Amino acid sequence: MTKEPTIEHFTEEEVDIINHVDSDEHAAAETHEEIAHDHNLFAEPIFNIGSFTVTNSLINSWIVVILVIIAAVIVRKNIKTIPGKIQNVMEMVVDGFLDIFDSVTGSRDRSLKFFPLVFSFFIFILINNWLGLFPGIGSIGQIVAQDGHAVFIPFFRGGTADLNTTLALAIIGVVFSHIFGVMAIGAWNYMNKFINIKAFLEIPKKLRKDPSVLIVNPIKAFVGIIEIVGEAAKVASLSFRLFGNIFAGEVLLASMAAILAFGLPIPFMFLEVIVGLIQALIFAMLILAYLTMATTAEEH
């Protein structure tokens, strides 16, 4: 048997040749390695500010906020007593939304009270939904190494295609509905919608006249506990509905582009424009419904 030669058996010149061949093979392997670009459920981190991680969907959300602020400043500076064409269109949009809100709230005063919050939700979500369709969103990014593989991470991602964003929006909407509820009917009355202490306190007073309170009032208290579960369900429903529709749209467009990049995705992009509008409107109207219910006394 012959021994395989070790590194000691080669001259210095031969070792250099072997290392050069190995490096060439490694470079070729890297060149032919396929770059992965998966549509993850979570947003990818781009950079850190101290311990705070900035993701690609957060960058998109910041861009939307900046655009909304700039648009609001421009509109405010150009408001005139005698409106021009653009102001006329904007006033028609506002009046149209107020008419829709009236059908939910039943009162123009309540519609005007809820309008700033609900319309802000609509505008923010709508621009986020549509911004995800712009060229460069999802296609401009960097290639990084993860677990030994080259992975493409986009710098921008639709804000509402990230569950963190939709969950935050849902929590804000539901929390504000509780704040408006406390302001409208009082803290004690509002608390009794969920923890119905009033129902138990009424039992001794009404027992002689109406013995059925022994059955009815504990049921009222139990319904209040169900209401607490319902509040958590509202957050889950709002966040997952919006996230699911927008994320599914991104995956659909990517799939169509993978089949045929030229022409085929265009009809689906128009479809996503409509879906983005509908989802923004649904989210806003649900928040409006929650605000209306929260500010209505239990007996009404």
pLDDT tens by residue, 104-128: 998 899 999 999 999 999 999 999 9
pLDDT at 280 over 50: yes
Q: What is the pTM of this model?
A: 0.78
- pLDDT above 50: residue 2: no
| pLDDT beyond 70 at 78 | yes
DSSP state for residue 296 in the 8-state scheme: S
**What is the structure's pLDDT at 7?**
45
Closest CA to 44 of 168, 153, 163, 160: 153
Which of 165, 48, 180, 36 shows the shortest CA–CA distance to 118? 180
Which has more confidence, 206 or 27? 206
Mean pLDDT over all residues of the chain?
A: 80
Q: Does residue 176 have a pLDDT over 90?
A: yes
Query: Predicted confidence band at 68 (pLDDT cuts at 50, 70, 90)?
Result: very high
Contact (CB, 8 A) for 232 and 168: no
pLDDT given at position 38: 60
Average pLDDT over residues 131-152: 73
Nearest to 240 by CA among 177, 129, 160, 178: 160
Question: Domain extents for the chain?
Answer: 45-294
Q: Tell me, what's the pLDDT at 172?
A: 95
Tokens 């648009």 locate to 71
* 58 vs 193, higher pLDDT: 58
- pLDDT score for 219: 74
Q: What percent of the chain has pLDDT over 90?
A: 34
What pLDDT does 13 receive? Answer: 54
pLDDT at position 192: 78
- Here the tokens at position 56 are 């690609």
Higher pLDDT, 39 or 152: 152
Name the more confident of 227 and 139.
Answer: 227
